[in-house]
A and B are shown apart, each in its own frame.
Chain A
Amino acid sequence: MTSAGAPERSGTTRGGGTLYRGDLGMWSWVAHRITGVLTFFFLFTHVLDTALVRVSPNAYDAVIETYKNPVVNLFEVGLVGAVLYHALNGIRVMLVDFWEKGAKYQRAMLWTVLGVWVLVMIPGFYFMMERTISDLLGGH
């Protein structure tokens, strides 16, 4: 039994149903959703904390002070990584939709996205964590 439209080789029976196992493209879509939702939740918090500048300089500075530690710094790198993936993959999605050869090269473009992501994140990680690491190692 095959469900309509799904190619046989990409489905596997489990509990009588059919589990879609799309290829890399499916995982790029899953990652796009997860990074998008995470960024949206972060944005909610980020607008609230920045709104404290309207309350008082002390209130704002007190909250920002709680962000100046290694754990939050690592989260920031994670956030940048999520946004960067979402941006690069978003460009790929637009090319798939609007460029006549987009669908043909979607897989190559995904590898390009991942390659660019790694190339940007290595120096990005270094520059974002530089201060935290030198503080942790006792330098000042």
Chain B
Amino acid sequence: MSLALDKPRSPRRPSARRSNGELYSWLFMRLSGLLLVVLVLGHLFIMNILDGGVHKINFGFVAGRWASPFWQFWDLAMLWLAQIHGGNGVRTVINDYARKDSTRFWLKMLLYVSMVLIISLGTFVIFTFDPNISN
């Protein structure tokens, strides 16, 4: 009877299947979170309080904001960071609670498709917005 144990400090065993992906994901959550605190709380404060809330919002309001490259960039950065930060968070939640590998796989596929869809659509809209579009 032989025990299949590698010798301690044998060169090939460790780090074979390791990657630093989860470390970068962890770090990204903190860095993007810091930026999002400013971007999102700023956005909510301006939209809901300073500019008078949803009652003031219509097509003309959006046109006025996106006339400025500053706000276009603000919204673009917020879109990308929030989608990746939120998507990464939901990925963690799926990993924690899905019980079957197939459930986990399909939920994550659904998540990734929705992230690609929302990031692409939002980016497309910000870059191609036309204030003179016809009714």
The verdict on A2 contacting chain B, using a C-beta distance below 8 Å, is no
Residues of B within 8 A of A61 (CB): 58-59
B4 within 8 A of A: no
Q: Are B36 and A57 in contact (CB under 8 A)?
A: no
Contact between B41 and A50, CB atoms less than 8 A apart: no
Contact for A53 among B54, B79, B125, B135, CB less than 8 A: B125
Q: Tell me whether B129 is interfacial, beta carbon within 8 Å.
A: yes
Interface of B, helix, strand, loop or mixed by DSSP: helix
Residue from B52, B60, B125 whose CB has the most chain A CB atoms within 10 Å: B125
- The answer to whether A44 touches B122 (Cβ under 8 A) is no
1/0 contact string of B37-58 vs chain A (CB within 8 Å): 1001100100011001111011
Interface residues of A (CB under 8 A from B): 33, 36-37, 39-40, 43-44, 47-48, 50-51, 53-54, 56-58, 60-61, 64, 67-68, 72-73, 76, 80, 83-84, 87, 90-91, 93-94, 97-98, 124, 127-128, 131
In the complex, given contacts A40-B86, A61-B59, A68-B54, what are 5 additional A-B residue pairs having Cβ atoms less than 8 angstroms apart?
Answer: A40-B87, A54-B124, A54-B130, A57-B133, A87-B40
18 A-B pairs with C-beta separation under 8 A: A37-B90, A43-B82, A43-B118, A44-B118, A47-B79, A47-B121, A47-B122, A48-B121, A50-B125, A53-B59, A56-B134, A57-B59, A60-B62, A61-B59, A80-B48, A90-B33, A97-B30, A128-B48
